[in-house]
Amino acid sequence: MVGTFHLAPAFAFANGSETGPIVRIAPNECSVCDPQAWKVIYAVNGGFTKTDFYLTQAPNLSPHADSFTQLDEKKHTFRRRMIQHIFAFKTVLENERYLDSVIELFMQRMGELADKGDAFDISEWVHWYTFDVIGELFFGRMFGFLRESKDIGGYIAAVDIILPHAIRMAVLPKVLWPLQILMLPFSARFRHSVSVFNSLTAVSRKLVDERVELGKGRPDMLEKLLEVSREKSPDFDITDVYTESYTAIFAGSDTTAIAIRSALYHLCKNPDTYTKLQAEIDQHEAEGKLSPIMTYNEASKMVYLSAVCKEAMRVFPSIALTFPRHVPEGGRELCGYFVPAGYRVGVNPAALHFVKSIFGDDADDFNPDRWFRLGAKEMDKHMFQFGQGTRQCIGKNVATVEIWKMEGD
C-alpha cells in the first residue's frame, strides 16, 4: 500500500507555531483551533448557526431540507427527532447481519486476489465496500461494486469529480457562485459526471420505490425511514426518504472509506503496531471470543483495535474542513479576540487533532498507545471527526460499526 498522508499546515496551526489559535481565512471568516473555543462555537443553545456552506451539499429531492443541510435550528431539531432512532446504536446493531453479508463478500474477493498473487489497489476496494454497505442498509441491496469488482456506472469516479466543485462552491464567497457555475459547463468531464450523478439519483429513487411497492420489506434502515414517512407525513414523506437515503451515499461512503484507508495505511507503515493488533485478534480468536465474521460487540472489546481505529481517525480525519457557523448577535469573544456578529467561524479537525496540549508532545505521530495514557478520556472529548454538538454526524454509529468490524476482520 502506497500513499501520502500529509497535513503539515494543520500541524503548524494546531500548535500556534506560526499563527496562534485563531486565523482569519477570509474577509469575514476565521478558523479556530482551541480546546475551549470549540465548546463555545458548537454549544447546545449557543446561538451559533450553520452558514450557507452547507447549501451546496443539499440533494434537493424534497421540499424539506435533510438533517445535514438544514440551516434553521428549530427545523433541524424537529427533523432529527423524527429519524434519530433509526441511527441509534441499537438499530444499527439490529441491522448488523446485512452489513455482514457485505463483509463476507469483501473477504471472499480479498481471498481470490491473494490467491492470484497480483498487486491490487485496496483503497479502491474499500470504497466499493462502503458504497455497497450503504446500498445494503439504505436501499435494500448492495449496488454491486464488490460483486462486479468495479466502479458500477462510474458512480465513484463521478463523485470524485463533482465533490471538489461542490466544496469549492461551499468555501467561495456567495457572490462568486455564479462565476463558478458558468465555468462548469466548459468541462467535458464535469458534464459527463453530472450525467452519471443524475443516473445515480434515478437508481436510488427506483430502489426506494421498489421497496414501497412491496408494501413492507425486511426490517432494515430503509424500512424504518419508510415507517416514519407513513407516520409523520406530510412533515416527512416519500421525498424525504429519497433525501435521507441519498444523503447516506455521500455522507457515509467516501468518509467511512477514508477512515478505513487511514487505518490500513498506518498499519502498513508501522509494522510494530500491525503486529500488536494481530496478536490481540489472534488471542481473542484462540479464546473463542470471535465469530466467523466479527460482531461489533466483539470488536469493541478489543482495546488495541479500538485504539488503532481512533488513532486513524485522529491523524487523518475524513473531513479536513472547518464546520462553519455564524457568530450570533452581539458578537462573541474567542481565544481572547472579539469576533463581530455575522462572521463565520469554525474548527477544522485536521488542526484540532494535532494540538499537543490535548494529545501529547507526539501528537504529530501515529501512535495508538496514546489511548492508554492517563488523559485518554479527555482526548476523546476533543475528537472532532464527526463534528460536535447538536449537529454531530447523525450517521456516526453506522460508520463506527463499519470501521471497527472491517479493521477487525
What is the number of structural domains in the chain? 1
CATH number at residue 85: 1.10.630.10
* pLDDT value for 190: 77
Name the residue among 94, 55, 99 with its Cα closest to residue 324: 55
Q: For residue 325, what are the β-bridge partners?
A: 50, 345
195 in a structural domain: yes
- Its domain, for residue 342, covers 8-408
Number of Cβ within 10 Å of residue 26's Cβ equals 13
3 in a structural domain: no
341 in a structural domain: yes
375 in a structural domain: yes
Q: At what angle do helices 254-269 and 303-315 cross, to 10 degrees?
A: 110
- Tell me how long the chain is: 409
Q: What is the pTM of this model?
A: 0.92
Check residue 43 and give left, alpha or beta (phi > 0: left; psi -120 to 50: alpha).
beta
Q: At what angle do helices 303-315 and 271-286 cross, to 10 degrees?
A: 150
**Euclidean distance between CA atoms 233 and 237, whole angstroms:** 5
User: Residues forming the annotated binding site for heme?
Assistant: 393
Torsion angles phi and psi, residue 49, rounded to 5: -115, 155
* pLDDT value for 104: 98
* pLDDT value for 14: 55
1 in a structural domain: no
Name the residue among 332, 339, 347, 335 with its Cα closest to residue 388: 347
Report the largest interatomic distance among the alpha carbons of the chain, rounded to a whole angstrom. 65
84: CB partners within 8 A, 6+ apart: 394
Number of Cβ within 10 Å of residue 271's Cβ equals 9
52 in a structural domain: yes
For residue 264, the one-letter residue type is L
Q: Let me know: does 38 contact 351? Beta carbons within 8 Å.
A: no
Residue in this structure with the C-alpha cell 458512480, named with its chain if needed: 155
User: Residues forming the annotated binding site?
Assistant: 393
286 in a structural domain: yes
25 in a structural domain: yes
Mean pLDDT (10-residue bins), the chain, 409 residues: 41 58 90 91 91 84 87 91 95 96 97 94 96 96 96 91 80 73 74 85 93 88 95 91 92 94 97 98 97 97 98 95 94 94 95 94 97 95 91 94 95
99: CB partners within 8 A, 6+ apart: 133, 136, 137, 401, 402, 405
